[in-house]
Amino acid sequence: MKNILQTTIALVVILIGFTSCNNSENSKGKSGALASNVAEKVYVAPGEHDSHYAFISGGYSGNLTVYGLPSGRMFKEIPVFSQFPTNGYGYSEETKPLLETSYGFIPWDDSHHPDISQTNGKLDGRWVFINGNNTPRIARISLTTFETEEIIEVPNSAGNHSSSFITENTEYVVAGTRFSVPVPQRDMPIKDYKGNFKGALTFISVDPEHGHMDIKFQILMPGFNYDLSHPGRGKSHGWFFFTTYNTEEASSLLEVNASQNDKDFIAAINWKKIEEYVNNGGGRMMPTNYAHNVHDEATHTATSTMKKEVRVVDPADIPGAIYLLPTPKSPHGCDVDPSGEYIVGNGKLSANLTVHSFTKMLDAIEKKKFDGDAYGIPILKFEDVLAGSVEQPGLGPLHTEFDGKGNAYTTFFISSEVVKWKLGTWEVLDRKPTYYSVGHLTIPGGNSREPFGKYMFAMNKITKDRYLPTGPEMEHSAQLYDISGDKMELLIDFPTHGEPHYAAAIPAEIIKNNSKKIYRLAENKHPRKTTTDAETKVVRDGKNVHVYMAMIRSHFSPDNIEGIKVGDKVFFHLTNLEQDFDVPHGFAMIGANNAELLVAPGQTRTLTWEPKQVGVWPFYCTDFCSALHQEMQGYVRVSPADSNIQLSWSLGD
Amino acid sequence: MKTASIIMILGSLLLLGLFKFPLWNIMLGAPQYPDPLGMNIYIDGIKGVEEFDLQNIDGINHYIGMKTIPKPEEMWEFSVFPKVILGMSVLGVIIGLLGFFGKVSYKFFLGWFVLMAVLGLLGMYDFNNWLISYGSDLDPNAIIKVTNPDGSPMSYKPPLFGFQKLLNFDVTSLPHIGGYLMFVGMLLTLIASWLGRKASLKTSTA
């Protein structure tokens, strides 16, 4: 233990010396006559639009934030896995089903890796997918409404981390488990982990028209930790690559016990082959329980369905579909270059970056050059699949993205920098510090066959002194670099929201014209909508009272309601009658034990209120909708439980 | 005279563009409406430039007590104007044909133009009257009442032609494609009269 510590410290000291020397060289070069005006490069004049969208995961906020590049301005927080009182997501009756799971209603998650849908390996900008890490789920967010449309739970998984990466025609969104667990779950001693726990890698098919997700199959892999993954593309389309750590299969003190093997693996999975096997009836249906939640844009309502079985595939039953590529030292990021040839394993405890060759891998498989097996899965020889190594690039490599011009950019957590290197020659071309301890980095389209290599941004884990201090807890920092030249140029530093775990970015013109302005009232199919003043009503059904209420500048209809009793459960079904861009109305009820509602034009949303006290209680519009917003209010009279006051409602009498 | 008659027929036919294109257009921009709201005035009714513009204009106007934008059945003009335009176009074509075969003189062309001009002026007068009534016949219980410096209620009459600032709105009122086609058509009939006159002078001197 002591030895490891000493070696690490020594290595850190050496590398800091090495990098700081490099930095001073760079800063000298930058102050030359050709130094450009950096402020100009990020200035987006008032009223002008950014050139790119960035969808930055909120990490432990459970949400997804939308930013503009190059300005670094935040436009929106899209609630995904977390309740969001700001607009009532996860509180309104229509959105609550989205957060249902086999564990019941889960109001939070840890969202990690957004990925934008692709067609022919290019970003098509239809949907963005993101994984919930803690209670394994995958969400699909529409890029016309910028709202969460669907969430599917992933059974047999725990710590849904090597997710949610999509294949080049969005055939699948893939979710791998970080923790191996007993499959199916059962009561057993933890020390019996080795050989008994399984790691489920889940292939979720995506309907090409509606985007609806369905688990096609799960591969029950050996009990390693599946850390990150990426699809093959171009020539390697049809394969998927997962990094593993803890091939030692330790269950305790992993920081030591999972760091013993000199090499862990990248698992190469021929999903086309497994798909064919499954299409021919391969695998077996296993009883399980998981939620599939879909929000319907026409009814403005989500439904949750519990699914009871999943198709699982045992690697032993389909030889030739899965191989293990030895990769040094607990690799983290698993990144595939735009051509599909190079698979970069970012060995986080390794001094070198390992790059495997897809062609060499196929060749080694062809020639059956195996070096034993792990639970029946053939292990290829390191030397046979190695394309090359980037020697001593930095310390703590995590993730790599590509610019489409033959260069790769890797983040180094410990030495806190991004290093640019060349594919094929493996030479380091440039390095720039990040502030501080960068995790992921994003290049728009960096995850596709055609990256847009103008910008790169680094998302950091540590903020310290970058901004005005805000107490012990701070938002994380991100830095944007111009990567269009030979050397990277730091442009701006901006704070993010939650934990900016990873991001997907895309040129704005691909999606901005598809963004909806309103929901059409004529297409509203909510069963409890109110589309005209004449349709407003209040209906009692035992203790449940349904209020069909309309909102339009600047009143609620009805705005006076009597006949409600203590012990009733009141459902306010609010329809926003506006058909004008950016005129939402809000609804807040005194003493409601949930949240407010924001209702978009043409939409219907329902808030539940259980009045507990006799009296006359006001409600009001929370969104400053108009000059007479402050007049947009109303009253509900609540009578004793045994009162015989009949229901009545009115507006303007 | 044959050329003049053909131009006369063409000019009269251009009126038919009013059945397809708006006669007039009024755009309303405001700080809150960077994409302005707009109404296109057709001879048979008023339509929004974008799908929900009329609804949104009415929604805003209710604050100052303006009446809603009339539906076609609420104004006699929208049933009469199409008949008048169709009638004038047919009449123009008939006169043109008669001229072509030498049955009538250029004076009929000029007559048609004068009649059309009078009808057009009457139409404009009527349209302006509607704008006045639309902009000043306000609900006495209006939410917002704005008065002029002399204490009289402010009128929200959009301009008949050109630009005007009305509270937070920048209002621009200009002819639209149908209107321009009509003006070109009328100009053509005037040219036809002039050409016809020149031809008749030539014949009489010869």
- The CATH superfamily holding the domain A50-514 is YVTN repeat-like/Quinoprotein amine dehydrogenase (2.130.10.10)
Cβ neighbour number for residue A600 with a 10 Å cutoff = 21
Q: How far apart are CA A403 and CA A180, in angstroms?
A: 34
* pLDDT value at B203 more than 90: no
The pLDDT of residue A11 = 52
Q: Which residues in chain B are closer than 8 Å to A518, comparing Cβ atoms?
A: 52
Q: Are strands A104-105 and A100-101 parallel, antiparallel or unpaired?
A: antiparallel
- Name the residue range of residue B136's domain: 2-205
Contacts 24+ apart (CB under 8 A), A413-419: A413/A348, A413/A437, A413/A438, A413/A439, A413/A461, A414/A12, A414/A15, A415/A12, A415/A15, A415/A16, A415/A19, A416/A460, A417/A19, A418/A456, A418/A458, A418/A481, A418/A488, A419/A390, A419/A393, A419/A394
With an 8 Å Cβ cutoff, are B56 and A627 in contact? Answer: no
Q: What single DSSP character describes residue A236?
A: G
The pLDDT of residue A329 = 87
Which among B35, B56, B143 is the nearest to A628, CB-wise? B143
Contacts of A608 (CB under 8 A, 6+ apart): A93, A569, A570, A571, A572, A592, A594
CB contact, 8 Å: A256 with chain B?
no
The pLDDT of residue B175 = 96
The pLDDT of residue A29 = 44
With an 8 Å Cβ cutoff, are A579 and B143 in contact? Answer: no
Helices (H), A31-73: 38-42
Please provide the size of chain A in residues: 653
For residue B58, what is the nearest residue in chain A, using CA coordinates? A553
Paired with A240 in beta bridges are A231, A269
The amino acid at residue B66 is M
B21: tokens are: 């294109």
CB contact, 8 Å: A580 with chain B?
yes
Q: At what angle do helices B2-14 and B177-205 cross, to 10 degrees?
A: 160
The amino acid at residue A474 is M
Average pLDDT on B53-78 reads 94
* Helix H or strand E encompassing A355: strand A353-357
Q: How far apart are CA A397 and CA A350, in angstroms?
A: 8
Place of tokens 């090359």: A388
Place of tokens 């847009």: A452
Q: How far apart are CA A584 and CA A531, in angstroms?
A: 15
For residue B33, what is the nearest residue in chain A, using CA coordinates? A581
Q: How many domains does chain B have?
A: 1
The pLDDT of residue A465 = 95
- The CATH superfamily holding the domain A521-650 is Cupredoxins -  blue copper proteins (2.60.40.420)
Place of tokens 């920081």: A255
Which among B35, B52, B63 is the nearest to A579, CB-wise? B52
With an 8 Å Cβ cutoff, are B55 and A581 in contact? Answer: no
Tens of pLDDT, residue by residue over A637-649, are 999 999 999 999 9
CA distance A516 to chain B (A): 14
Task: Tell which B residues from 126 to 145 touch A, by Cβ distance under 8 Å.
Answer: 143-144
The pLDDT of residue A32 = 46
CA distance A580 to chain B (A): 6
**Positive or negative: CA dihedral A246, A248, A249, A252:** negative
Domain boundaries defined on chain A: 50-514, 521-650
Q: What single DSSP character describes residue B51?
A: T
Please provide the size of chain B in residues: 206
SS3 A189: coil
With an 8 Å Cβ cutoff, are A627 and B63 in contact? Answer: yes
Which among B52, B63, B143 is the nearest to A580, CB-wise? B52
* pLDDT value at B204 more than 80: no
A502: tokens are: 């990873």
Q: Which residues in chain A are closer than 8 Å to B56, comparing Cβ atoms?
A: 579-580
Low-confidence ranges of chain A (pLDDT < 70): 1-36
**CA proximity to A457, closest of A427, A489, A414, A429:** A489
Q: Which residues in chain A are closer than 8 Å to B55, comparing Cβ atoms?
A: 579-580
Q: Between the CA of residue A357 and those of A273, A346, B189, what are the distances in Å?
A: 20, 14, 79
With an 8 Å Cβ cutoff, are A580 and B143 in contact? Answer: no
* pLDDT value at B69 more than 80: yes
Average pLDDT on B23-41 reads 96
CB contact, 8 Å: B35 with chain A?
yes
SS3 A332: strand
For residue B52, what is the nearest residue in chain A, using CA coordinates? A579
pLDDT band at B79 (very low <50, low <70, confident <90, very high): very high
Q: Interface pTM (ipTM) of the complex?
A: 0.88
**CA proximity to A75, closest of A508, A435, A519, A601:** A508
CA distance B147 to chain A (A): 18
